[in-house]
A and B are shown apart, each in its own frame.
Chain A
Amino acid sequence: MATTESAQSTTELPVQQAEQDAQPVAQERFRPSAAGWAARYAFAAALVVFIFLLPVIVPDESAANLVVTAAIFSCVALSMNVLTGYLGQLSLGHQAFFGIGAFVAATVVTTHQMPFIFGVLAGGLSGAVAAIILGGVALRIRGLYLAIVTLAYGLLAENSLFLIRGLTGGGAGLPADRPAMFQTNARFAYICLALLALLFAFDWRLMKSKAGRAILAIRDDEKVAASFGINITGYKLLAFVLSGIYAGLAGSLFAFQLGNVVASPFNLTLALTFVLMAVVGGLGNRVGVVIGGAFFATIETILELVHEYLIILPASWVGIELGHGLDPTLAPVIGAALLVITLIQFPGGIGQQIAPIQNWVKGDRFDLHAQKDASAVKGGASVGRP
């Protein structure tokens, strides 16, 4: 083989003699035609356009608020994905980072009268700080025990930290006013979607770089990773920090969505919902967890719509009158059931189910039985090390 421009090596590697056994012919990778590529780009573009048109095409403010919630939760899903999907560390207390982001953002904007953008950035930073503390603990404690510590961390935040009067305004809560230009839900939704796009793009770059590969390697086998020259401590902490930043930023937007931040939303149920989003979405799969986040943010509405249009309406056609209004408490029941079902039966979650589509867009043939493209990001049903 001729030497390449690469400065990695200047020695000439001799050609290896063909081995005795016939080697399978190198598979030519399938390459779509020009029309094929056009179709794929059109599909992807249409999808992106649709998402960004959502705030304007939804009928009213409350629907726009759903878009806001979906975007924010999707950002948290990406955060969970970095820690639980890529690094393989279960986080049962993620509401701590989310909540700290919210409280700090509100404090910065209200108590210190600083502009919105500083609030958001401060929220992100505080999430990072909270996460790095946990990361430090993670260097000593591992696996199941660390999972219990994350649970404890979240409970501590919920019951103690967020109730400290000086920090969080006690019972009345901390107000967080949106900037004048983004008062309406539709406009605020654009900020949230922008954050989602930003985090998504950053995450994509992360996994294409050595840092992303390092984190995945650590999840798989720390000894191997170290022998590759990966600084285990450094990259573990990096994963925690990134996860904290994503969650902190999302939390700060959450503060502005609520308008007034109190401690009560940041409870164990929220933490479990976050786990749900990531696992059902598909650990390690960026698109999957975003769908998971959006799904669980809007599940009550989805159930309502299903109830209205798939049950009540057809029933009325055959003359059966059913009562309107679906019990919203059904949502967490379904969520929990989905979590367990995903773990047992559908390891890759939603991400696995949409793998055929994802692979197609990336340039493969459309194959219903495709695995998620043979790439590193494969968490599967196993939380933690595969």
Chain B
Amino acid sequence: MAVLEVNDLGIRFGGLQALEAVTFKAEEYEIVGLMGPNGAGKTTAFNCITGFYQPSTGTVSYRGRDITSLRPDQRAALGIGRTFQQVGLVRTMTVLENLLTAQHARVRYSAAEGMFGIPTSLVEERQLRERALEVLDFMGMAHLAHTRLAGLPYGTLKMVEACAVLATDPDLLLLDEPSAGMSPEESHEFGELLLNIRKQLGVTIVMIEHHVPMVVAVCDYIYVLNFGRLLAQGLPAEIQSHPEVISAYFGEEDTYGAA
């Protein structure tokens, strides 16, 4: 069964049909790309998958289980990790604290046990910290552990967000424009990193991306949205030469640049 299945997803905002009859899926260990011009509904789809929006039609299933009515934090607890376009972190905390907080769903001790300082909670806190530092080390960010987020550059924040989401040991990773603001070289490195993460951690990834070269290099399968509907789907090579996809992107020269 697919890790993620989105079936006939539709959602209206007032008079605007933001998504209609959108169906796509991600199989185990796939890296799936979600593309489309700005305003196509990609982030809206993500918001439906993670539970911030309730779709008017359709279902979202995770490993065969219908999660359409679950709250966002419940879905996160199942192992669905997500990054945000505007970097989803707690700005007033330090890098390390963000990683600790991000692991919230993984924490086994109850809130009460933590508040009263029950020994098992203390042990687990130490473990959380160790894991957080491990991840930071892995990503080369350990020196920033005790720095507050305010004032850090955008690129660094995106890396911190990546650390935070990795620390949760996710099963399904939803990345919203992860390479935004990166240079072509950085983007290429990031693509390598994604492949590495997929291999080492055994995650399934669904990625909203504009950077075509990276998408083509990294993704196993691509879905293209336009005006809230599915425009095309297929292997990267097919999508690259798909006439409708090209015309949908017409005028967006910065996204359809040469590899």
B143 at the interface (CB under 8 A from A): yes
What residues on B are CB-neighbors of A19 within 8 Å? 140
Cβ of B104 within 8 Å of any chain A Cβ, yes or no, is: yes
Give every chain B residue within 8 A of A232 (Cβ-Cβ): 73
Given contacts A206-B115, A376-B97, contact A8 B73 (CB under 8 A): no
Nearest chain B CB to A53's CB is how many angstroms away? 27
Q: Which residues of B contact A23 (CB under 8 A)?
A: 140, 143
In the complex where A216-B90, A375-B97 touch, is A230 in contact with B138 (Cβ < 8 A)?
no
Are B140 and A11 closer than 8 Å at their CB atoms? Answer: no
Task: Indicate whether A238 reaches chain B with its CB closer than 8 angstroms.
Answer: yes
Other-chain contact of A374, B101, B106, B148 (Cβ < 8 Å) = B148
A95-110, CB under 8 A of B: which get 1 and which 0? 0000000000000000
B213, CB-defined interface residue at 8 Å: no
Enumerate chain B residues within 8 angstroms of A6, measured Cβ to Cβ: 127, 130-131
A374→B147 contact, CB < 8 A:
yes
List B100-134 residues whose CB lies under 8 Å from chain A: 100-107, 109, 111, 114-117, 121, 125, 127-128, 130-131, 134
Q: Is the CB of B92 within 8 A of A378?
A: yes
Interface residues of A in 195-229 (CB under 8 A from B): 202, 205-206, 208-211, 213-214, 216-217, 219-221, 223-229
Most chain-A CB neighbours within 10 Å: which of B84, B89, B101, B140?
B101
A220-B138 contact in complex given A8-B106, A238-B111, C-beta closer than 8 Å: no
| B97 adjacent to A213 (CB under 8 Å) | yes
B71 within 8 A of A: yes
- Please, which residue of chain A has its CB at the minimum distance from the CB of B121? A209
Question: Chain B, 77-108, contact with A by CB distance < 8 Å: what is the 0/1 string?
Answer: 10001101000111111100100111111110
Chain A, Cβ-Cβ closest to B185: A20
Are the C-beta atoms of B200 and A226 separated by less than 8 Å?
A: no
Residue of A1, A206, A214, A386 touching B137 (CB-CB under 8 A):
A1
Indicate if A184 sits at the interface (CB-CB under 8 A): no
Cβ of B246 under 8 Å from chain A = no
Is B58 close to A, CB under 8 A? no
Assess whether A13 is in contact with B138, with CB atoms less than 8 Å apart: yes
> What range describes how many residues of B lie at the interface?
35 or more
**Cβ contact of A16, chosen from B90, B114, B130, B140, cutoff 8 A:** B140
Structural contact, A9 and B131, CB atoms closer than 8 A:
yes
Inter-chain contacts of A209 with B (CB < 8 A): 109, 111, 114-115, 117, 121, 125
Do the beta carbons of A216 and B93 come within 8 Å of each other? yes
Whether A12 sits at the interface, judged by CB under 8 Å, is yes
- The reply to whether B89 and A213 contact each other, CB–CB distance below 8 Å, is no
Contact at A374–B146, with CB atoms within 8 Å? yes
- Does A329 reach chain B (CB closer than 8 Å)? no
Contact A210 B88 (CB under 8 A): no
Q: Is A25 in contact with B169, judged by CB distance below 8 angstroms? A: no
Chain B residues whose CB sits within 8 angstroms of the CB of A231 once the complex forms: 71, 73
Question: Which residue of A is nearest B135, CB measured?
Answer: A13
Nearest CB of A to B85, in Å: 12
Cα distance, A227 to B116, chains bound together (Å): 26
Does A35 interact with chain B (Cβ within 8 Å)?
A: no
A316 within 8 A of B: no
Interface flags for A1-31 (1: CB within 8 Å of B; 0: not) read 1001111110111111011000111110100
Contact A1 B105 (CB under 8 A): no
| Contact (Cβ within 8 A) B76 A226 | yes
A230 to B148, CA, bound (A): 21
CB-based contact A228/B127 at 8 Å: no
13 examples of A-B residue contacts, CB within 8 angstroms:
A7-B127, A16-B138, A27-B143, A205-B117, A208-B125, A209-B125, A210-B111, A216-B101, A225-B73, A228-B76, A229-B77, A230-B101, A234-B111
Additional 17 contacts, C-beta under 8 A, given A217-B93, A228-B76: A4-B127, A4-B131, A12-B200, A14-B196, A18-B140, A209-B121, A210-B100, A211-B114, A217-B90, A219-B92, A220-B91, A220-B93, A225-B90, A227-B84, A229-B168, A238-B111, A374-B94
User: What 4 A-B pairs come out closest when comparing CB atoms?
Assistant: A229-B105, A209-B114, A226-B72, A229-B76
Residues of B within 8 A of A (CB): 50-52, 71-73, 76-77, 81-82, 84, 88-94, 97, 100-107, 109, 111, 114-117, 121, 125, 127-128, 130-131, 134-135, 137-140, 142-143, 146-148, 164, 168-169, 196, 200-202
